[in-house]
Each structure stands twice: as C-alpha cells, then as structure tokens.
C-alpha cells in the first residue's frame, strides 16, 4: 500500500490552483475558482482543506466547512433547538459550497481506500480540534457508504430528498425537444404562449441588482416547500460575477416576479436560488426551459435541478440522483444532550 500523507490548509488561497484542480480532476463545482467564490459567499463558515499526497503528487482531497447556521430539513421547533446547539458547537461538513455536492475528492482504486482512510482520520482530528457537534460527509453515493475503510465512529444515514440530473446528450435544445413526444413539445409551446399572455418578460444578466426583492422571492419558494431559507443566498447574489453563471429574471409590468441562478463549473450546470411571486402562471416552467437552453448554449455535459416536482422533471428527461446519503460522526457531548432530550428521566 502506498504511503500517503495529508496536508491541512485554512483557505483555498493557500493552495496553488493547479494542485487543487489536479485533485478535483474536472469534477463539477470542485474547481479552485468555485471554492474562491464559496469562501466569499459563505464568510461565516471557516474552511479547512485537506490534500493527500503520494510523495510529491496530490492524489485526493476534501473541503470542510464549519457551519453555524445549517438550514436543516426539520420542523420549526426542532430547527430552533438545533440552531442553539450549533451556535456553541457548529457542524463540520464536507460539502462543496452552495452546490449540494460532496467535497470528498477520492482517486480510483488502488489508492481510493488508503486516501479515504487518511482523509477521514484527518477530518476527525479537525472535528475534535474545532469542537464541533457533528462531522458530516453528505451528498454521498450509496456505494460510498459501503467503502469498508470508514473509521469507527462514522454511521451511515439517508437525509433529505434526492436531487435530479440530466446528461446533455443532444446537439441543441431543438434536438432535445424533438427527441421527446408530441405532448412534451406542445407543453413547451403552450408554456411560452401562457407566459406571453400573462405579460411575463424574461431577461438574462451577469450580475444581480434587486437583491432584497430576490431574497423575498426565494423565501416564498422556501415557504412553499416547508424548508428553511438558505442563509447564503445573499452571498451568492452579491458575488455572482465571480463564477460562470447566468442570472435569470422574470418581470411583469416592470416588477420582478421570478428569478433563478444558473451556475456552471467544469461543464456541470446547477440551478439555485429560485424565487417566484405568489401568482405567476407559467413562471416556473419559463425558468426551467430557459435553464435548459443555457445548458446547450454553454455546452455543459450534465444539468442538475434539485429536488421536488419529480413528475414534471421525469417527463422532461431528468433522473433521480443517488446522493442523499451521508456518513456522520457525533461528538460525545452532543450525544449526551440528545440522549437527555430523548429520556429526560
């Protein structure tokens, strides 16, 4: 077995781009540029980067963020309680910022198991040093949960609802539409007519101007889904020009009534920050179809569109992701608090 060693960094700026990008190996939302953006957009989440070296060659890595305000998918009362815990004992999460993607960057076999062993051990050391409540490697594939070298203390869990994805296998948006059935093509045309009839005007931008209005619209969507608002949306909006992305806006009578961020990295595309006014017929589909057009225009290889509205997304060619799993470690003091809550006597 190769003798590997791990190096710890406290900012992506401490790592040469060519070194990090070699470890990222073209994976989406893992580039050095993306993590520069992540640090700016999430300034309240101190990062820790781990790089595994095989002699002088970087072969694996992980990005950990210390998170005090994770928007957990819990009922409001439970969410408030956990927020009080995280204020004193934050989470340490291995996750790419604002991308709903794991930041565990492993090589293929035969180095995979050795690299995971040293990364998990180094993460556990950071977990203890930084006095966190939970260590979480989330957005993992089912097969990653089954790797036999996870250290003692890690437990597999399934969390949240799965996201959706679609490989871009067509030459153009028009070819994509033609590959579907007649009903799907009619739905697209009907949606355009409905948007025009309702006076919806969609425009594309490189920066975001009406940030407070956007935050109100994104909170609407969070309320409809019964989820906590994303605490880093403002950071995303304020630093949007740092990344490869297209900001979509829908206006009606010159009022902003819908929006969404189409972001790209290493030929992958993700839609985040969707926002809508209460009554915008056709607005959601207008954003969705425009995001798909963006994927073809920018020649991405895969599109992701988050969870929810599964019937609609399946009809459009999206598949369920197998990434709603995690490995978790709980600090001893946190375990005692949870046990006391479950058994107050």
pLDDT in tens, 125-142: 999 999 999 999 999 999
Q: Report phi then psi at 244, rounded to 5.
A: -80, 105
- Count of domains in the chain? 2
Cis-peptide into 251, omega within 30 deg: no
Residues 203 and 131 in one domain: no
Cα 141 off chain centre by: 14
64 has a pLDDT exceeding 50: yes
d(CA 319, CA 35): 27
With a pLDDT cut of 90, the percent of the chain lying above it is: 77
Residues 45 and 82 in one domain: yes
pLDDT band of 73, cuts 50, 70, 90: low
Burial 299-319 (b: 16+ CB within 10 A, else e): ebebbbbbbebeeebeebbbe
Residues 152 and 201 in one domain: no
CA angle, 90 then 272 then 274, to 5°? 115
pLDDT, tens digit, 9 for 90 and up, residues 1-13? 568 999 999 999 9
Question: What pLDDT does residue 338 have?
Answer: 47
345 has a pLDDT exceeding 70: no
| The token pair that represents 184 in the structure block | 């799907």
Least confident of 24-33, 60-69, 189-198: 189-198
Query: Which residues, 6 or more positions from 332, have their beta carbon under 8 angstroms from its beta carbon?
Result: none
> Domain range for residue 296?
164-320
Residues 143 and 178 in one domain: no
Residues 73 and 170 in one domain: no
* Average pLDDT of the residues in 33-58: 97
Residue scoring higher pLDDT (311 or 119): 119
pLDDT, tens digit, 9 for 90 and up, residues 306-323? 888 888 889 889 999 999
Number of Cα atoms under 13 Å in the Cβ half of residue 215: 13
pLDDT, tens digit, 9 for 90 and up, residues 172-210? 999 999 998 888 889 899 999 999 999 999 999 999 999
Question: What pLDDT does residue 161 have?
Answer: 83
Residues 153 and 82 in one domain: yes
- The overall average pLDDT reported for the chain is 92
Residues 272 and 218 in one domain: yes
Least confident of 25-34, 67-76, 135-144, 243-252: 67-76
* Average pLDDT of the residues in 114-135: 97
Residues 311 and 169 in one domain: yes
Residues 172 and 198 in one domain: yes
**Claim: this prediction has a pTM higher than 0.95:** no
Query: Which residues, 6 or more positions from 209, have their beta carbon under 8 angstroms from its beta carbon?
Result: none
How do the residues of the chain divide into helix, strand and coil, expressed in percent and rounded to 5?
Answer: 40, 30, 35
pLDDT band of 275, cuts 50, 70, 90: very high
**Residue-wise DSSP of 109-121:** TTTHHHHHHHHHH
Nearest-CA neighbor of 279 among 308, 300, 250, 306? Answer: 250
Residues 127 and 107 in one domain: yes
Residues 115 and 176 in one domain: no
Residues 47 and 92 in one domain: yes
Least confident of 159-163, 190-194, 228-232, 322-326: 159-163
Query: What CATH number does the domain containing 107 carry?
Result: 3.40.630.30
**Residue-wise DSSP of 136-174:** EEEEE-HHHHT-TTPPTT-EEEE-S---EEEE--SSSHH
Beta-bridged to residue 256, according to DSSP, are 251
Burial 138-164 (b: 16+ CB within 10 A, else e): bbbeeebbeeeebeeebeeeeebebbb
Q: How far apart are the first and last CA of the chain?
A: 50
């Amino acid at each position: 077995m190769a003798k590997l060693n791990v190096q710890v960094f406290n900012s992506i700026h401490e790592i040469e781009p060519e070194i990090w990008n070699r470890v990222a190996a073209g994976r989406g939302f893992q580039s050095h540029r993306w993590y520069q953006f992540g640090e700016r957009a999430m300034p309240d989440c101190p990062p820790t980067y781990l790089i595994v070296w095989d002699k002088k060659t970087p072969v694996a890595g992980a990005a950990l963020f210390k998170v005090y305000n994770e928007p957990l998918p819990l009922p409001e009362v439970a969410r408030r309680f956990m927020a009080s815990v995280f204020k004193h004992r934050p989470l340490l999460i291995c996750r790419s910022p604002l991308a709903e993607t794991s930041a565990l960057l492993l090589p293929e076999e035969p180095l995979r198991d050795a690299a995971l062993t040293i990364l998990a051990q180094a993460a556990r050391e950071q977990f203890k040093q930084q006095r966190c409540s939970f260590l979480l490697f989330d957005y993992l594939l089912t097969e990653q949960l089954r790797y036999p070298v996870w250290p003692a203390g890690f437990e597999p869990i399934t969390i949240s609802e799965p996201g959706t994805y679609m490989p871009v296998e067509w030459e153009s948006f028009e070819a994509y539409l033609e590959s579907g059935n007649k009903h799907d093509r009619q739905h697209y045309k009907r949606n355009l007519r409905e948007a025009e009839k309702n006076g919806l005007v969609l425009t594309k931008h490189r920066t975001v101007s009406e940030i407070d209005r956007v935050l109100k619209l994104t909170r609407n969507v969070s309320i409809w889904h019964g989820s906590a608002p994303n605490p880093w949306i403002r950071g995303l909006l304020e630093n949007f020009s740092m990344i490869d992305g297209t900001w979509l806006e829908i206006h009606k009578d010159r009022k902003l009534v819908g929006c969404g961020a189409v972001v790209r990295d290493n030929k992958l595309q993700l839609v985040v920050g969707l926002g809508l006014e209460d009554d915008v017929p056709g607005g959601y589909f207008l954003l969705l179809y425009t995001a798909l057009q963006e994927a073809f225009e920018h020649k991405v290889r895969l599109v992701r569109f988050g969870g929810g509205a599964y019937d609609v997304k399946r009809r459009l060619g999206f598949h369920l992701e197998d990434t709603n799993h995690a490995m978790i470690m709980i600090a001893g003091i946190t375990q005692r608090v949870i046990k006391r809550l479950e058994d107050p006597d």
